[in-house]
Amino acid sequence: MPKNKDFQRASEAPLLPTGTIHFIMHCLARFKGWIILMLIMETGQATGNILVPYAIKSIMDSVAQSNGTPLLENLRVPLLLLVSLNIAEIVFSRTSGAILIIMGPRLRQYTTKALYAYLQYHSPRYFGSHFAGALAHRISETAMSVNHTAWSILCDFWPILVTFTISIALLLNVNQGLGLMVAGWVFVYVSLSYFLAKRCQPYAQAYAATRSQVNGKIVDAVTNSLNAKLFARLHFERQYLDGFLETEVKSGRRTFWYMERIRWFQFIAAAILKVSTVYYALTLWDSNIITVGAFTMSIGLALLIINDARNLTRRFLEFFEYVGNIANGVDTIVQPHEIVDKPDASPLTINQGRIEFCNVNFSYDSQRPVFDQLNVVIQGGQRVGLVGFSGSGKSTFVSLMLRSYQPQGGKILIDGEDIQYILQDSLHEQISLIPQDPSLFHRSLKENIGYGRLDVSDKAIQLAAKQAHADEFIKIMPDGYDSLVGERGVKLSGGQRQRIAIARVLLKDAPILILDEATSSLDSVTEKTIQESLDLAMGRKTVIVIAHRLSTIAHLDRILVFDQGRIVEDGQHEQLLAQKGLYHHMWTMQAGGFLPEQNTTPPN
Ligand SMILES: Nc1ncnc2c1ncn2[C@@H]1O[C@H](COP(=O)(O)OP(=O)(O)OP(=O)(O)O)[C@@H](O)[C@H]1O
Ligand SMILES: [Mg+2]
């Protein structure tokens, strides 16, 4: 459960506990019925298992006492018990197996779904500071570990507990001294196993860390294999990896030596129990305190306990590892959501599309402010160009409008409504963005374009593609609109990717349109033809265009010139040129339509 008041959670996201144990309980809670059934089956199986020595005891005693009467007659009951115990063991264990099959994949599905749904509501800042692959890995690792933890408890620890309890009860019944001796052994053994597993855990963790480090190094090297080849550094790379592999070997050995020491303890402890049970039971038999059957049962039970206790340390170790994995996953994913809808947030209805920044303060990292008291009004239906040197805050301006980040001060209004109080989904439905570096889903081109509006026909998709001049290259691809685009769209050229991004935004047809360098990767001929489609799509929308190529924005209604987070000039192209300020400077410095990388000779 969220513990403090700072814990913000998007209301659509599942309510997940932040503590590891609570999280495990939360995931298991919906399978209560199955878990209880499984506990019953495991109890049945363990009990059946332990009662076998008891059945043998009865058989032995009957054999010992049979004086004259037909043996089979006497043995009927104990033999029946033996048969029923075996049948019960089969039935219980296989039913438990069936429950595992029914429940296991569902439990894993639930954990994955819940963590993914929670993750979706994190902010761009969160996704910017975590690797996508690492997050996906965390989710699957956590889901797997919740399953393993459940199985450890249900199929390992619980049956062991049942076995130990019933065995000790049976032994106490045979002879108190014998029962107490075994009980003492069990107590010491379990405590020591737990203690040793805890001591071994850091070694095992360090070993796991070196393994994943080696993995990371190999992935990095494979990703950069072309670099290695072009610099003739293949041999160097092998040597480089050798260093890390050596660390892995050392760490592995350290862990295995520790485990070996634990095994010494286990073997010695087992031997002590075996020998002392035999010796003690023999003395009891010798003094006629117990029967021959009870003697055999005691030995049988001791062997059963030893069998179950073997690997207990390893099981504890694995258990700690699973719980550690879950803790990691929960710590990473179940964090407060940075940007959430207010409880009374309402949907946005856009009439004009007027955008207002009111005393906005913003910084990404609270050290370097990007905006300090930024004020600007963009009228509905206005087409505004944003220009400025790289890093002057243009993309940030747009990100704030989309509420990807929360300003530290001031407010942003759309048609007079503070976007803080608007449902984010409705805000995003009304604003279309073609980002600086559009990325696509690794799905078909059709699906990528149709993402703008899920209910449209193939014909509409093609029409949008035609308007964005994407149709011509899609048609000649082997699978046409069904072609897959590769991870993030890598199988397309930068310009093709941009055209797909334009097509899907044309389909979306939102009242506010933002183009962040939307045509920067296109050659000037294609750009010109697309520009016409874009102008058509702009219609009466409010449009914000960010461009480094000033010629693409010169014709707009208004131009805002950004400089280090401030709007230093504001007006139409001709006016700004006449002012002979920064815009004029940039315009005259443009070589071939592009801005220079940075302001080399500042305007006076
Ligand atoms: N995710 C981020 N985290 C931290 N700082 C950032 C982040 N994104 C941008 N910045 C910083 O904020 C400032 C403004 O960046 P922004 O991306 O808004 O510039 P821009 O005007 O769009 O530049 P460009 O023309 O190169 O796209 C820069 O100093 C940049 O380093
Ligand atoms: Mg930018």
Most confident region among 105-119, 173-187, 283-297, 322-336 by mean pLDDT: 105-119
Ligand lying nearest the CA atom of residue 562: 1
| Ligand 1 neighbour 393 (Cβ under 6 A) | yes
Ligand 1 centroid – CA 371 distance (Å): 11
Residue pLDDT, tens place only, 492-502: 888 888 889 99
- DSSP bridge partners of 484: 444
Pocket flag, ligand 1, residue 396 (CB < 6 Å): yes
Ligand nearest to the CA of 394: 1
Name the band, by pLDDT with cuts 50, 70 and 90, for residue 253. Answer: very high
Q: What is the pLDDT of residues 272-296, one digit of tens each?
A: 988 998 898 889 888 888 888 888 8
Q: Is 354 in the pocket of ligand 1 (CB under 6 A)?
A: no
Q: Which residues surround ligand 2, an ion (CB under 5 A)?
A: 395
Distance 27 CA to ligand 1 centre (A): 40
Check if 392 has its Cβ closer than 6 Å to any atom of ligand 1.
yes
Residue 146: HSE in the Cβ half-sphere, 13 Å Cα cutoff: 31
pLDDT greater than 90 at residue 22: yes
Buried b / exposed e along 184-203 (16+ C-beta atoms within 10 A):
ebbeebbebbeebbeebbeb
Distance (Å, whole) CA 397 – CA 384: 13
**Which residues 6+ apart lie within 8 Å of 200 measured at CB?**
255, 258, 259, 262, 313, 317
Q: Is residue 485 over pLDDT 90?
A: no
pLDDT by residue (tens digit) across 54-86? 888 888 888 777 666 666 777 788 888 888 988
Cβ(565) – ligand 1 distance below 6 Å: no
- Going from the Cα of 514 to the center of ligand 2, the distance in angstroms, rounded, reads 12
| pLDDT of the residue at 595 | 54
Span 419-439, pLDDT tens digits = 999 999 999 999 999 988 888
Q: At 599, is the pLDDT very low, low, confident or very high (cuts 50, 70, 90)?
A: low
> Is the pLDDT reported for residue 521 higher than 80?
no
Instruction: Give the chain's length.
Output: 604
pLDDT value, residue 596: 53
Shortest-distance Cα residue to atom 4 of ligand 1: 364
**Residue 296: count of CB within 10 angstroms of its CB:** 18
pLDDT at 602: 47
Position of tokens 């050659």?
523
Taking residues 530-548, report their average pLDDT: 84
Which of 542, 573, 551 is closest to 560 using CA atoms?
A: 573
Please give the Cα distance from 380 to 542 (Å, whole number). 5
- Domain positions in the chain: 20-333, 355-589
Pocket test for ligand 1, best of 357, 370, 372, 552 (most atoms within 8 A of CB): 370
For residue 399, how far is its CA from the centre of ligand 1 (angstroms)? Answer: 10
pTM of the model as a whole: 0.84
**If we measure between CA atoms, which residue out of 413, 390, 397 comes closest to residue 567?**
397
pLDDT tens for 466-477 read 988 889 889 998
Q: Lowest-pLDDT range, 16-25, 378-387, 519-528?
A: 519-528
Long-range pairs, 453-461, Cβ under 8 A, ≥24: 453/507, 453/508, 453/509, 456/507, 460/507, 461/503, 461/507
* The CATH number fitting domain 20-333, selected from 3.40.50.620, 1.20.1560.10, 2.150.10.10, 3.30.70.360: 1.20.1560.10
Ligand 1 atom nearest to 517, measured from its CA: 27
> What percent of the chain has a predicted confidence (pLDDT) above 70?
96
- 24-30 long-range Cβ contacts below 8 angstroms, 24+ apart: 24/146, 24/149, 24/150, 24/323, 24/326, 27/107, 27/110, 27/111, 27/114, 27/146, 28/107, 28/146, 28/150, 30/110
Residue nearest to atom 13 of ligand 1 (CA): 391
383 pLDDT above the threshold of 90 = yes
Average pLDDT, the chain: 87
Between CA 583 and CA 577 the distance in angstroms is: 7
- What's residue 263's pLDDT? 85
Question: In this model, does residue 265 exceed pLDDT 70?
Answer: yes
Average pLDDT over residues 147-162: 93
Q: What residue owns the CA closest to ligand 1's atom 5?
A: 364
Q: How far is the CA of 550 from the centre of ligand 2 (A)?
A: 15
Q: Over 50: is that where the pLDDT of 603 sits?
A: no
Residue 26 CA to residue 107 CA, distance in Å, equals: 11
395 CA from centroid of ligand 2 (Å): 4
Q: Give residue 491 CA to ligand 2 midpoint distance, Å.
A: 24
| Ligand having the closest approach to the CA of 365 | 1
> What average pLDDT score do residues 225-253 get?
94
pLDDT band with cut points at 50, 70 and 90 for residue 119: very high
Q: Is 549 in the pocket of ligand 1 (CB under 6 A)?
A: no
| Cβ of 500 below 6 Å from ligand 1 | no
- Contact 394 CB / ligand 1 (< 6 Å): yes
CATH number belonging to domain 355-589: 3.40.50.300
Q: Which ligand is nearest to the CA of 392?
A: 1
